[in-house]
Structure 1
Amino acid sequence: MQRRRFLGLTAAGAATAALAPALTACGSEGSGGGTIRLVAADYGDNATNTSKKYWDSLARAFEEKHGDIKVEVHVYSWTEVDKKVADMVAAGKAPDLAQIGAYADYAAAGKLYRADQMLSIPTQADFIASIARAGEVQRVQYGLPFVSSTRRLFYNKDLFTKAGITKAPESWSDVQAAAAKLKTAGVKIPFGLPLGPEEAPAETLLWMLGGGGGYTDKDGAYTIASDENVKTFEWLRDQLVGKGLTGPGDPGRTNRQDVFDAFVRGDVGMLNGHPTLMQQAESKSVNYQTAPLPGVKGVSKSTMGVADWMMAFKQGHREQVGLFLDFVYSTKNVLAFTGQYDLLPVTTTASNKMQQDSDRKKLWPFLEQLQDADFYPADKTSWAKVSATVKERIGTVVRSGGDPAGVLGEIQREAESTEGASR
């Protein structure tokens, strides 16, 4: 599925942007006609639900209202879209708009318009505050959130009943006790722990938050090697993986989609998941439920929020791009896209409408968490490299003999060094 990339949110591909040559603006900054180019990611998993259908339809509707502005649409899979845009930028042929996974390197290199240079005041003010802040570099918004999601604990109700578990776990000790019962009941994977390269940064952050830590502090400084984070991974190593409660595979080599597929087959008792897992589970008639994420001493005080980004390159079509973006972020169009893929809207008005739509009731718990969710430090130009290192290294710390303090310390030092070099 191409949709799976959204909820991994890495900054891969954009890392080379800061090294690209400065762009030469073309066209006019003034109002008027012309053609704007959009490169977007595909959230569909087949030809019938490809995102290109959405964007083509949206572009034609926009052109009917603004006949002198044409929109040229290019849609690529998540496995290639970031690199496509990076290559275009490096060649001096950046698109006017890119809807991809990361923006910070382009912003730091001075290649993007600020949000207030393009959007009308009502559109800019309508972004959910917590998500909009994640699009800022030095308190200036360059990344426009496009779609979002939060995470919850998914559990198989039939397997819980079989194991004699009557309610969802709220603390890590509850998780361990439930996983032990599931193992005794013959469940193949009591707790799915995907610390493999597909989504290691996300699973890592979820556990960090549950342990009272995170990638950064409230001031944005890296805290990867904090005592809280070290204790979190020591607990995972000793109390979950070490007790054989994550199944026969190596969590450090297990990807998220592997665990999702196993959950859909009925082989997983519980795991951390996002809304699109509901579609997959329902398609196979899995009797599941969701609950808030467990934390070290009770329900976690926070969950992870993720977002994919829209950004506008300085290609000389600022006003035309602004008109199109105001159209893109209209409530009707936001709900049309998020509704197609079971994602969460990034604007307050669309969010409020979703909360009033009983057909979207299953998304309400995810939506309610969005205002206070913690996001990746996507505003940091160092995040691309840090994310890649987490993918490579974090799985080793939960193996027998793993060294959480040592590995997290190394990642911390690399993060600080990379961040310092980018200033």
Structure 2
Amino acid sequence: MQRRRTGTIAVVSALGMTAVLGGCGLTGDSEEVTLELVAADYGDSEANSSQNYWDDLARAFEAKHPDVHVDVTVHSWNDVDREVREMVEAGDAPDMAQIGAYSDYADKDLLYRADDVLSIPVQAGFVSQLARAGQVNGVQYGLPFAASTRVLFYNKTLFDEAGITPPKSWDDLADAAEALKAEGVKYPYALPLGAEEAQAETMQWMLSGGGGYTDDVGTYSVDSPQNVTTFTWLKDELVGKGLTGPVAPGELNRADAFAAFAAGDVGMLNGHPSLMKMASDKGVKYGMVTTPGIDGASRNTLGVTDWMTAFKENGHQEEIGDFLDFVYSDENVLDFSRRYDLLPVTTSASQVMSTAKEDENLKPFLDELLLSELYPVGKTSWAAVSADVKKRIGQAVASGGSPEEVLGRIQTTAMRAGSAE
């Protein structure tokens, strides 16, 4: 396939015909190459570990490319970003890393551009929102790898017992939570603003109120009037009325909220596709609807993607490109998405999934993908802002807390971190 090779073209221009006349390939074609990939584990047991997926994929690739070997090491999500960071700092970067962030590495010029390593059809085939989120200053470095969106899950049994229907607006949600509380439901609405993934629940609520972490031109707007209104409503209408359960939102982690839903103790919560299997395995009958917004169904939802990155350090540009083109074939993208209840990152695979009977359980999430907004991951400041959200946002809805003050402090962090970009 045709591939843009900006780096290689520059080398040829500098060397003239010397390399060609000397018979020396720029990528060492005559030698065997071993590519090192570090990846995250999406499985919940050894049996469905991502290591199995990558080992099968590597063998299939090697059968077509006998001079290229691919060694894959899989780490848990708790460890993978740290492991890669330590490798990079030690001067031993992998050829590729499938991780949660990319912008710091791009900012330090450690990564190949997408058009250095991907064929033109593969790069053009990414879902547009995801591709844009992989850009730093208009240049794509982050390659979307797996995506998800959020919808509102509700416990059908608890809703039937309370005689209520799924909410469409914030007022509907508050009314439903009141009815669930009257029936003795432990968590009428689970609001996980704990340190594990507070940035996700926060952004989902911001979007439902017409706000977000940034404004239309990409400037941080954490303390916008819309966001202040959203968290004031949460504090007064849900948390303050005892509708979010026995654990303070700032102490409730996403994993614990999901586990409580699977145990039948939660009436409603925002969730991503992995919650479907957790709930089904425990026999919970659940439904899914678009996240309620301030005056009806939310017009936007949170989209999340993880990233494939290609490091320059070892210089295996051609081989990395061949492998990544293989990784992003429809067959392999669909295989991974179906194994782990995730959304495809390519338009063609998304089209297949949207009409396939076997994927109908993912359709509510797939429908939301084109309306989704992602974290501002192209900003190197995002890591600092996300950490501050995890640290502070629970205080915004706590008794005696001030949403305006807490959001203002996070905005200050964002502006300070952003000034260095």
What is the TM-score with the length of structure 2 in the denominator? 0.92
Query: Matches of 1:260 and 1:376 in 2, distance apart?
Result: 22
Post-superposition shift, 1:306? Answer: 0.1
Post-superposition shift, 1:72? Answer: 1.2
**Contact 2:207 2:301 survives alignment (8 Å):** yes
Letter in 2 for 1:270: M
**Contact 1:188 1:247 survives alignment (8 Å):** yes
- 1:243 matched residue in structure 2: 241
Correspondence 1:197-346 to 2 at 5 A: 197-314=195-312, 315-346=314-345
Post-superposition shift, 1:357? Answer: 1.0
Correspondence 1:155-174 to 2 at 5 A: 155-165=154-164, 167-174=165-172
- 1:4 matched residue in structure 2: none
Determine whether 1:30 maps to 2:27. yes
Correspondence 1:120-159 to 2 at 5 A: 120-159=119-158
Question: Which of 169, 174, 193 is equivalent to 1:176?
Answer: 174
Letter in 1 for 2:82: K
Q: Provide Cα deviations, 1:382-405, integer angstroms capped at 9, x if missing partner.
A: 011111110000001101111111
Post-superposition shift, 1:185? Answer: 1.0
SS in 2 for 1:217: coil
SS in 2 for 1:35: strand
Query: Matches of 2:97 and 2:170 in 1, distance apart?
Result: 40
Query: Matches of 1:368 and 1:290 in 2, distance apart?
Result: 12
Query: Matches of 1:355 and 1:299 in 2, distance apart?
Result: 22
SS in 2 for 1:305: strand
Query: Matches of 2:121 and 2:109 in 1, distance apart?
Result: 25
Post-superposition shift, 1:372? Answer: 2.1
Query: Matches of 1:136 and 1:153 in 2, distance apart?
Result: 29
Post-superposition shift, 1:227? Answer: 0.5
Correspondence 1:32-111 to 2 at 5 A: 32=29, 33-111=32-110
**Contact 1:222 1:415 survives alignment (8 Å):** yes
- 1:114 matched residue in structure 2: 113
SS in 2 for 1:369: helix
**Contact 1:31 1:320 survives alignment (8 Å):** no
Percent identity between the two aligned chains: 58
SS in 1 for 2:257: helix
Q: Provide Cα deviations, 1:142-164, integer angstroms capped at 9, x if missing partner.
A: 00000000000000011011111
Q: Name structure 2 gaps, 5 residues minimum.
A: 1-24
SS in 1 for 2:419: helix
Letter in 2 for 1:61: A
SS in 1 for 2:284: coil
Q: Provide Cα deviations, 1:56-104, integer angstroms capped at 9, x if missing partner.
A: 1111110110111111111111111100000000011100000000000
Letter in 1 for 2:137: Q
Letter in 2 for 1:119: L
Letter in 2 for 1:235: W
SS in 1 for 2:370: helix
**Contact 1:29 1:319 survives alignment (8 Å):** no
Post-superposition shift, 1:218? Answer: 1.8
Post-superposition shift, 1:31? Answer: 5.9
Post-superposition shift, 1:29? Answer: 5.4
Letter in 1 for 2:354: Q
**Contact 2:299 2:371 survives alignment (8 Å):** no
SS in 2 for 1:309: strand
Letter in 1 for 2:196: E
Query: Matches of 1:118 and 1:394 in 2, distance apart?
Result: 39
Q: Name structure 1 gaps, 5 residues minimum.
A: 1-27
Post-superposition shift, 1:30? Answer: 2.3
Post-superposition shift, 1:321? Answer: 0.2
Letter in 2 for 1:318: Q
Post-superposition shift, 1:365? Answer: 1.1
Query: Matches of 1:29 and 1:263 in 2, distance apart?
Result: 56
Which has the larger Rg?
2
SS in 2 for 1:389: helix
Q: Provide Cα deviations, 1:321-377, integer angstroms capped at 9, x if missing partner.
A: 000000000000011111101000000111111112111101011001111210000
Query: Matches of 1:362 and 1:59 in 2, distance apart?
Result: 29
Post-superposition shift, 1:266? Answer: 0.7
Alignment coverage as a number of residue pairs: 394
SS in 1 for 2:270: strand
SS in 2 for 1:147: strand
Letter in 1 for 2:379: K
- 2:363 matched residue in structure 1: 364
**Contact 2:250 2:393 survives alignment (8 Å):** yes
**Contact 1:29 1:316 survives alignment (8 Å):** no
**Contact 2:158 2:267 survives alignment (8 Å):** yes
Post-superposition shift, 1:410? Answer: 1.1
What is the TM-score with the length of structure 1 in the denominator? 0.92
SS in 1 for 2:292: coil
Q: Provide Cα deviations, 1:297-337, integer angstroms capped at 9, x if missing partner.
A: 11101000000000000020111000000000000001111
**Displaced runs of 4 or more, over 6 A:** none
